[in-house]
Copies of this chain bind each other. A is one copy, B any other.
Amino acid sequence: MTVRFGLLGAGRIGKVHAKAIGSNPQAKLVAVADAFEQAAKDLSVAYGCEIRTIEEIESAGDIDAVIICTPTDTHADLIERFARAGKAIFCEKPIDLDVKRVEECLAVVRQTKATLMVGFNRRFDPHFAAVRKAIDDGAIGDVEMVTITSRDPGAPPAEYITRSGGIFRDMTIHDFDMARFLLGEEPVAVTAHASVLVDKKIGELGDYDSVSVILSTASGKQCVISNSRRATYGYDQRIEVHGSKGMVAAENQRAVSIEIANGDGYTRPPLHDFFMTRYTEAYANEISAFIEGIATGKKAAPSGEDGLVALALAEAALRSVKEGKTITI
- Interface flag for A296 (CB, 8 Å): no
Chain B residues within an 8 Å CB radius of A212: 145, 214, 222, 224
Known: A25-B46, A145-B226, A216-B195. Contact between A248 and B242, CB under 8 A?
A: no
B261→A269 contact, CB < 8 A = no
The answer on a CB contact under 8 Å between B259 and A270 is: no
Q: Does A231 contact B (CB under 8 A)?
A: yes
Stretch of A4-12, A86-94, A249-257, A308-316 that contacts chain B = A249-257
Query: Digit string of A12-49 for contact with B (CB within 8 Å is 1, else 0)?
Result: 00000000000101000000000000000000001000
Whether the Cβ atoms of A233 and B139 lie closer than 8 Å is no
A144 touches B324 (CB 8 A): no
Flag A122-137 by CB within 8 Å of B: 1 or 0 each.
0000110011001000
Confirm or deny: A220 has a beta carbon within 8 angstroms of a beta carbon on chain B.
Answer: yes
Given contacts A193-B189, A212-B145, A220-B196, contact A262 B232 (CB under 8 A): yes
Could you tell me if A126 and B249 are in contact, using CB atoms closer than 8 angstroms? no
The 8 Å CB contact of A268, one of B258, B266, B270, is B266
Question: Assuming the A-B contacts A134-B258, A257-B250, A262-B246, are A195 and B222 also in contact, with contact meaning beta carbons closer than 8 angstroms in the complex?
Answer: yes
Q: Does A158 contact B (CB under 8 A)?
A: no
**A48 nearest CB across to chain B (Å):** 11
Confirm or deny: A112 has a beta carbon within 8 angstroms of a beta carbon on chain B: no
Evaluate contact between A233 and B127: CB separation under 8 angstroms. no
Question: Which of B193, B244, B269, B326 interacts with A265 by CB under 8 Å?
Answer: B269
Give Cα distance in the complex from A149 to B270, angstroms: 24
Question: Contact between B222 and A246 (Cβ–Cβ < 8 Å)?
Answer: no
A 198-238 to B, binary, CB cutoff 8 A, 1 in contact else 0: 10000000000011101010011110101010111100000
The answer on a CB contact under 8 Å between B246 and A220 is: no
Alpha-carbon distance A231/B140, docked complex (angstroms): 11
- B145, B250, B264: the one within 8 Å of A267 (CB): B264
Is A325 among interface residues, defined by CB-CB distance under 8 A?
yes
Most chain B CB within a 10 A radius of its CB, from A147, A193, A255, A257: A193
Give Cα A140 to B191, complex, Å.
28
A binding-site residues for B, Cβ under 8 Å: 23, 25, 46, 126-127, 130-131, 134, 139-140, 144-145, 147, 149, 151, 189, 191-193, 195-198, 210-212, 214, 216, 219-222, 224, 226, 228, 230-233, 242, 244-251, 253, 255-270, 324-326, 328
Apart from A232-B262, A247-B262, A250-B258, what are 7 other A-B pairs with CB-CB below 8 Å? A140-B260, A189-B324, A195-B221, A198-B244, A233-B262, A248-B260, A265-B269
